[in-house]
Amino acid sequence: MKKIYVLIATLFLALSSCSDFLDQDLKSDIPGADYYATDAGFESLTNAAYSSLRTIYGGDPWLLEGGTDLFASGRTSVDVANLYGAAFTSANGAVTTFYTDHYKAISLANEVIYWGTDQASRANRVAEARALRALYYLNLAQQFGGVPLVTERSSAPIESAERVSTEAVYDFVISELKELASSSALDNQNNEGRFNKRAVNHYLAKAYLSKGYLSGNSGDFTEALNAAKAAGAGNALNTSFATLFSNAGEKNEEVLFYVPYDLKTVVNNTSGNKQMAHFCAYLDGQEKGHKYTSSTLTPTLWMHEVFNTNTTNPKQDERYEATFMTELRKSYWDFYDAEAKNTSAVTYYYCPSWEIANIDAWRAEHASRANAIVVEMLPTGNNINNITTAYQAKMKEDVYGVASFRKFDDTENGKSIFSTTSSMRDICLARLGETNLIAAEACVKLNDNTNAATYVNIVRNRAKAPEAQAGEMNIDYILNERARELAGEYHRWADLSRTGKLAEYVERHNPDISAGQVDNKFLLRPIPLAAIELNPALAGKQNPGW
């Protein structure tokens, strides 16, 4: 990070290969007024601002999903930021990268706003840039609390910027999104990876929800509920979960905002995102015919068992089979080929606890299952070698040790290209399933459990899961439902931190973490040491405990 916020010309040189409507066509190394006065130049600038989403969400989600109850180290250890130990300091690279990437993205958004504000024909793009900037500040507030608010374009590096309070950051985000929600700028905006009114209201709901925990003001939860309804909460979800999370489900009407990927618009077929590669066990080399996995952020036992709580019939919840690859064949990809799935023998069956008693019936359903080794998703149970082994040992030591996530599988490019970055699946950032759960959480905080259950059941009805009852509604139920619905979608760390449940859930369910290890300082990340060294206004303003 040069000075505090890198110059826009420098940022341009670091950005490349956006999607067709995010293409950037640079005419010089240092774009300026002549270039941005043209429609093509301004569109290029806007597209560069959107390309930041790929930088933030396309790689390792250490600060978004790591160090939670749902994922822990597999054969490859997670970043130390996820281990809550002495090695996690303000010099941590993952924290510094997250912070720096967001301020680069904010700088780009500020440029769009600066060059477009005085032209009516650019009103939509300016509104989109303001929404992007609000999203970036929402992310920063959730991770770091109060941060410097930089809301003006600067033609030179900023030497010093004061840190504002967490509440002030939320107030800024809310003010921006409220104005955009009530303006006409995005009225006719389609959903092609750009911000529209529904996405604006979704993030407005999330900002109010987050602020409500900080302020203790019930009015914030009321506003969160109102914004969620404006985004579409309360409407039925009509696409099956398995279809929604498939190549065919991309750009579905339920998806409010996403990061687009396309083979035609990247450098090559290994310039995609890593979402498919995470949340999986190690699946051996390319010659084995499986997908390439990072073998980090491997599903914990709780990631399975969360489907077995708050319900009388976990088997009924269609999301489990749509989330996990429970039957591993000779090739991982045989599952998605109707003919191969029918003829290829199942090598391993990853059996959840609630199906252990039904193994014989499972085998009898199809000849391909006759000789499958049953790998039990239990605290201690059968492994790939028919040996009784602890679940954690399967995570860390065994090839094919535990069930892999299939939720994000790219059955086109990901199948043919063996790389952790070969996925061309869009990354879903906001969708109506979460919007309904935001509404439900706001209702719980407003002591309206009847309506909380109504919103939860919109999500559960799509999954064909047994309906929730009003008497069951509390924050733990909401967190469990968010795990079942949103696992791996880059929300979990913020969910646990927001609700004050981080230590409780992580120490109970993450095998990397010991009891008493997660103290209050870990509810926020440290302000990066590099930022403090370069910004004198941050001196003495580090988060408590760091």
Give DSSP secondary structure letters for 289-305: T-------SEEPHHHHH
* DSSP 8-state assignment for residue 79: P
Together in a domain, 169 and 27: yes
Name the phi and psi angles at 44, rounded to 5.
-60, -40
| Range(s) of the domain holding residue 117 | 1-188+506-546
Mean pLDDT score across all residues of the chain: 93
Task: Give pLDDT tens digits for 86-116.
Answer: 999 999 999 999 999 999 999 999 999 999 9
Q: Count CB-CB contacts under 10 A for residue 155.
A: 10
Q: What is the DSSP secondary-structure string of 340-385? A: HHHHSPEEEEEEEGGGGGGHHHHHHT-GGGTTPEEEEESSEEE-TT
Q: Which one has a higher pLDDT value, 537 or 31?
A: 537
Give CA–CA dist 137/293, Å, rounded: 31
The 3-class SS string of 169-234 reads: HHHHHHHHHHHHHHCCCCCCCCCCCCCCHHHHHHHHHHHHHHHHHHHCCHHHHHHHHHHHHHHCCC
Q: Which one has a higher pLDDT value, 264 or 470?
A: 470
Give CA–CA dist 425/266, Å, rounded: 12
Together in a domain, 36 and 148: yes
| pLDDT the model gives residue 328 | 97
| pLDDT the model gives residue 29 | 52
Distance of CA 244 to the CA centre of its chain: 16
Residues 419-423, mean pLDDT to the nearest whole number: 95
Taking 70 as the threshold, does the pLDDT of residue 11 lie above it? no
Is 63 part of a structural domain of the chain? yes
Q: Count CB-CB contacts under 10 A for residue 120.
A: 8
| pLDDT the model gives residue 23 | 40
Taking 90 as the threshold, does the pLDDT of residue 14 lie above it? no
Give CA–CA dist 433/486, Å, rounded: 8
Give CA–CA dist 442/440, Å, rounded: 5
Task: Give pLDDT tens digits for 277-302.
Answer: 999 999 999 999 999 999 999 999 99
Expressed in angstroms, the distance from the first to the final Cα of the chain is 21
Taking 50 as the threshold, does the pLDDT of residue 15 lie above it? no
Task: Give pLDDT tens digits for 484-535.
Answer: 999 999 999 999 999 999 999 999 999 999 999 999 999 999 999 999 999 9
188 contact partners, CB below 8 Å, separation of at least 6: none
Domain stops at, among 376, 407, 438: 407
Taking 50 as the threshold, does the pLDDT of residue 10 lie above it? no
Together in a domain, 47 and 160: yes
Taking 80 as the threshold, does the pLDDT of residue 454 lie above it? yes
Is 30 part of a structural domain of the chain? yes
Is 430 part of a structural domain of the chain? no
Taking 50 as the threshold, does the pLDDT of residue 18 lie above it? no
Which residue is associated with the tokens 């579409």? 232
Together in a domain, 180 and 293: no
Q: Count CB-CB contacts under 10 A for residue 424.
A: 24
Taking 90 as the threshold, does the pLDDT of residue 273 lie above it? yes
Give CA–CA dist 38/277, Å, rounded: 40
Q: Count CB-CB contacts under 10 A for residue 512.
A: 21
Residues 51-72, mean pLDDT to the nearest whole number: 97
Together in a domain, 511 and 397: no
Taking 90 as the threshold, does the pLDDT of residue 7 lie above it? no
Give CA–CA dist 313/409, Å, rounded: 27
Q: Report residue 228 as tokens.
A: 């969620």
- The number of folded domains in the chain is 2
The residue count for the chain:
546
| pLDDT the model gives residue 25 | 41
Give CA–CA dist 8/135, Å, rounded: 19
Give CA–CA dist 132/183, Å, rounded: 16
Taking 80 as the threshold, does the pLDDT of residue 26 lie above it? no
CATH number for the domain spanning 532: value is 1.25.40.390
Domain stops at, among 346, 374, 407: 407
Together in a domain, 390 and 289: yes
Is 432 part of a structural domain of the chain? no
Is 312 part of a structural domain of the chain? yes
| 130-145 b/e (C-beta count within 10 Å ≥ 16 → b) | bbbbbbbbbbbbbbbb
What own/partner pairs with CB < 8 Å and gap ≥ 24 does 442-446 have? 442/205, 442/208, 442/209, 442/212, 442/221, 442/222, 442/224, 442/225, 442/228, 443/225, 443/473, 444/473, 444/474, 444/475, 444/478, 445/212, 445/218, 445/221, 446/218, 446/221, 446/222, 446/225
Reported pTM: 0.94
| pLDDT the model gives residue 461 | 98
Which residue is associated with the tokens 């560069």? 48
Together in a domain, 1 and 148: yes
521 contact partners, CB below 8 Å, separation of at least 6: 543, 544, 545, 546
* Contact indicator for 293, 280 with CB cutoff of 8 Å: yes
List 142's β-bridge partners, or say none: none
Taking 70 as the threshold, does the pLDDT of residue 230 lie above it? yes
* Contact indicator for 274, 64 with CB cutoff of 8 Å: no
* Contact indicator for 138, 182 with CB cutoff of 8 Å: no
Residues 137-159, mean pLDDT to the nearest whole number: 93
| 77-103 b/e (C-beta count within 10 Å ≥ 16 → b) | ebbbbbbbeeebebebebbbbbbbbbb
| pLDDT the model gives residue 292 | 96
| pLDDT the model gives residue 400 | 97
Residues 163-188, mean pLDDT to the nearest whole number: 96
Together in a domain, 29 and 155: yes
Domain stops at, among 407, 427, 446: 407
147 contact partners, CB below 8 Å, separation of at least 6: 137, 140, 141, 163, 164, 169, 527
Together in a domain, 183 and 285: no
Q: Report residue 64 as tokens.
A: 């978004």
Is 483 part of a structural domain of the chain? no
Give CA–CA dist 288/411, Å, rounded: 17
Give CA–CA dist 181/185, Å, rounded: 9
Is 132 part of a structural domain of the chain? yes
Together in a domain, 11 and 110: yes
* DSSP 8-state assignment for residue 268: S
Is 482 part of a structural domain of the chain? no
| pLDDT the model gives residue 22 | 36
Residues 311-337, mean pLDDT to the nearest whole number: 96
